[in-house]
Amino acid sequence: MRRDHADGKWQKRILTNIQAVLGAAGATLGDAVKVNIYLADMSQFAAVNAVYETFFQSPRPARTCVSFKGLPYGTDVEMECVANAVAKA
């Protein structure tokens, strides 16, 4: 489903979900080393960037942001995160 991303609501939801997945693995956003962001339209970059900066503290992980027409299921934004999570004994 395509959504309006101007208010940052969906970007926050995506990053909150990433935060929850990392938490389940015993990691935090501070353990992130790389984030890939795919946008259906680069006009969404400012909104994504504004929300991104509220979730990640300096130094922020490496990041790639590209525009990609034809994201799966008609979505406008997709994010993936690679983190260095140490298994807990």
What's the whole-model pTM score?
A: 0.85
CATH topology of domain 9-83: 60s Ribosomal Protein L30; Chain: A; (3.30.1330)
Segment 43-83, tens digit of pLDDT: 999 999 999 999 999 999 999 999 988 888 888 899 999 99
Q: Which residues pair with 65 in a beta bridge?
A: 37
**Cα–Cα dist 6/25, whole Å:** 31
pLDDT at residue number 75: 86
Residue-wise pLDDT tens digits, 13-42: 999 999 999 999 999 999 999 999 999 999
Domain boundaries, the chain: 9-83
48 burial type by CB count under 10 A (0-12 exposed, 13-18 middle, 19+ buried): buried
